[in-house]
């Protein structure tokens, strides 16, 4: 082979090898879903409610149904992180970004949750939780096909900036926000709200295929969380995802902030 031709072949071979390695490396860093589990630990949540909530997520990631949902994805793996939140500057990563591609990985994620104490802090800033979650999604080392923030809580936004603005900015980035409004007790205190599911529907969730699942009874916790995570992993079409709720009057998305303002003035 002539020297010039040999050089061309060498260059082409090197280029092919580099391209192949790049494609392989990219494939290994791609996931079907990047999911932020953002969990309310404000003082409006009773300790037993917080324990039910944590246990629900632990059981979900130990469930074979969740394992099957991950396996049946286009790539067969997801990235998940678990965050506890309360006030505007109070967010704690309990389990950092973890790529899960099999049952063993999912169970290991659940074990990490079971070994960490549950926090309990004042105030409720859903907007702060959304902003923090958006930041986490921007810092991850994998390339997700979909990005989802999963917000669970038992009250409206009462500190930080407006929740609608935070939601709309996240949605504009292509992020979906789903909700798990916790409605185990009748409103009786400062941070409680009647029809919290309506508030989540109109003020919190958003983006492609966004949905919510209210929890109204203690025995529903584990099943609701498992169902929600399976839906998020599977990326079901909106018609199959939305649990419809009907509001008789428009929801005030600043209701929590107005209550906090009046309370601070007194």
At 13-22, the pLDDT tens digits run 444 443 433 3
Note whether 67 and 102 are within 8 A (CB): yes
Across the range 33-59, mean pLDDT stands at 89
Look at residue 253 and tell me if it is in a domain.
yes
Does the pLDDT value for residue 178 go beyond 80?
yes
Give the max Cα distance, the chain. Answer: 91
| Structural domain total, the chain | 1
Look at residue 18 and tell me if it is in a domain.
no
Kindly state the tokens that stand for 58.
Answer: 């632990």
- Range ranked top by mean pLDDT from 4-13, 243-252, 257-266: 243-252
CA angle 35–66–204, rounded 5-degree value: 35
Q: What is the pLDDT of residue 95?
A: 95
Q: Please report, in angstroms and rounded to a whole number, the separation of the first and last CA atoms in the chain.
A: 91
Q: What is the pLDDT of residue 257?
A: 63
pTM of the model: 0.83
At 126-147, the pLDDT tens digits run 999 999 999 999 999 999 999 9
Q: What is the pLDDT of residue 5?
A: 46
Look at residue 168 and tell me if it is in a domain.
yes
The boundaries of the domain holding residue 48 are 30-265
Look at residue 21 and tell me if it is in a domain.
no
Look at residue 17 and tell me if it is in a domain.
no
At 217-244, the pLDDT tens digits run 988 889 999 999 999 998 876 544 444 4
Question: Cβ atoms within 10 A of the Cβ of 66, count?
Answer: 23
Does the pLDDT value for residue 189 go beyond 90?
no
Residues facing 93 on adjacent strands: 83
Q: Using the structure block, give the residue that is written with the tokens 């709720």.
A: 245
Q: Using the structure block, give the residue that is written with the tokens 């105030």.
A: 123
Q: Using the structure block, give the residue that is written with the tokens 């599977």.
A: 234
> Which residues does 207 contact at the CB level (< 8 Å), separation at least 6?
170, 171, 174, 175, 176, 177
> Which residues does 75 contact at the CB level (< 8 Å), separation at least 6?
30, 31, 32, 145
Does the pLDDT value for residue 4 go beyond 80?
no
Across the range 143-162, mean pLDDT stands at 93
Look at residue 219 and tell me if it is in a domain.
yes
* CATH value at residue 209: 3.40.50.410
Look at residue 22 and tell me if it is in a domain.
no
Q: What does the DSSP 8-state code read for residue 205?
A: -
Does the pLDDT value for residue 97 go beyond 70?
yes
Across the range 2-6, mean pLDDT stands at 52
Residues facing 95 on adjacent strands: 82
Kindly state the tokens that stand for 223.
Answer: 């099943």
Look at residue 7 and tell me if it is in a domain.
no
Across the range 72-87, mean pLDDT stands at 94
Report the C-alpha gap between 57 and 174 in whole angstroms.
25
Question: Cβ atoms within 10 A of the Cβ of 12, count?
Answer: 10
């Amino acid at each position: 082979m002539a020297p010039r031709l040999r050089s061309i072949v060498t260059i082409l071979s090197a280029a092919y090898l580099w391209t192949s390695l790049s494609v392989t490396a990219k494939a290994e860093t791609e996931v079907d879903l990047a999911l932020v589990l953002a969990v309310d630990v404000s003082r409006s949540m009773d300790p037993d409610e917080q324990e039910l909530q944590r246990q629900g997520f632990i059981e979900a990631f130990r469930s074979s149904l969740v394992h099957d949902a991950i396996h049946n994805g286009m790539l067969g793996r997801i990235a998940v992180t678990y965050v506890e939140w309360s006030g505007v500057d109070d967010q704690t990563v309990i389990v950092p970004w973890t790529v899960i591609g099999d049952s063993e990985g999912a169970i290991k994620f659940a074990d990490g949750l079971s070994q960490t104490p549950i926090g309990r802090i004042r105030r409720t800033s859903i907007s702060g939780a959304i902003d923090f979650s958006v930041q986490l999604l921007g810092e991850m080392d994998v390339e997700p096909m979909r990005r989802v923030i999963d917000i669970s809580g038992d009250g409206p936004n009462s500190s930080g900036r407006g929740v609608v603005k935070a939601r709309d900015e996240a949605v504009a980035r292509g992020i979906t926000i789903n909700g798990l409004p916790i409605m185990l007790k009748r409103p009786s205190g400062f941070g409680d709200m009647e029809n919290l599911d309506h508030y989540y529907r109109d003020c919190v969730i958003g983006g492609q295929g966004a949905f919510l699942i209210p929890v109204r009874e203690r025995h529903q916790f584990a099943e609701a969380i498992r169902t929600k995570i399976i839906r998020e992993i599977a990326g079901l079409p909106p018609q199959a995802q939305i649990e419809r709720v009907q509001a008789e009057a428009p929801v005030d998305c600043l209701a929590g902030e107005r209550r906090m303002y009046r309370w601070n003035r007194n």
